[in-house]
Amino acid sequence: MLLSFYNPDVLGDILIVELADDTNVEQSFEKKGNVVKIYNNETNDAIGFNFFGLGKSLGIEKENGQLSLDQKQVDTLNSAIKDAGFSESLEVDNAPKFVVGHVEEMVKHPDSDHLHITQTDVGLDKPVQIVCGAPNIDQGQLVVVALPGAVMPTGMEIWPGELRGVDSYGMICSAKELGIPNAPKQRGILVLENGTAGDGFDFAAAEKMFN
């Protein structure tokens, strides 16, 4: 995954790139030239980079907020990383992060009275496991899924994680979480359409309902 942010009005000409969740991670940084590597102290793996003074060469001088970097821009960043003497390299990640999902299976969480474990088909090779606490979640629903790498309207970032010991790969969203105007005040996910598990939905057509 690759999240990138640019806010010249606040930070100046600095591109922030995030590669992994840094929540509760002991981290350090190393600066070489115009590149700063942020890494996990325990694993030494890079969790992000800051790039200084590359706005013009990347063509992002007038951008503000989250960016979607293309291959040419990522190649420029990889050249900067290599020239600085770091061994890591970045990969383009422009896969959709907000998608329509079909809840194929749902079971109760073994260590919670309100969480459920779903197997949700999002059009990938196999369903993804998502833990959901919404009271209206049910098998057979069409829902909106924020996959890892998504950034919610509030700025919250979605990363792979776990809830009470169970792995969860994304979030099934409510209308409020998606920033939809006049969203219902009561708790619950946004259900696009009811269906039956195994119906074989056309995901490309279904996503037009949301996008």
Residue % of the chain over a pLDDT of 70:
91
Judged against a pLDDT cut of 90, whether residue 181 lies above it is answered with: no
- Residues 72, 134 within the same domain: no
pLDDT tens track for 104-149 = 999 999 888 889 999 999 999 999 999 999 999 999 999 999 999 9
Domain count, the chain: 2
Q: Examine the domain organization and report whether 181 and 102 are in the same domain.
A: yes
- Residues contacting 16, CB < 8 A, separation 6+: 4, 5, 6, 48, 50
Task: Verify that 105 and 72 share a domain, yes or no.
Answer: no
Flag whether 122 is in a domain: yes
Contact 123, 147 (CB under 8 A): no
Q: Are residues 124 and 80 in the same domain?
A: no
Residues 6 or more apart in contact with residue 208 via CB below 8 angstroms = none
3-class SS string, 3-27:
EEEECHHHHCCEEEEECCCCCCCCE
> Could you tell me the pLDDT band of residue 198, with boundaries at 50, 70 and 90?
very low
- pTM, two decimals, is 0.81
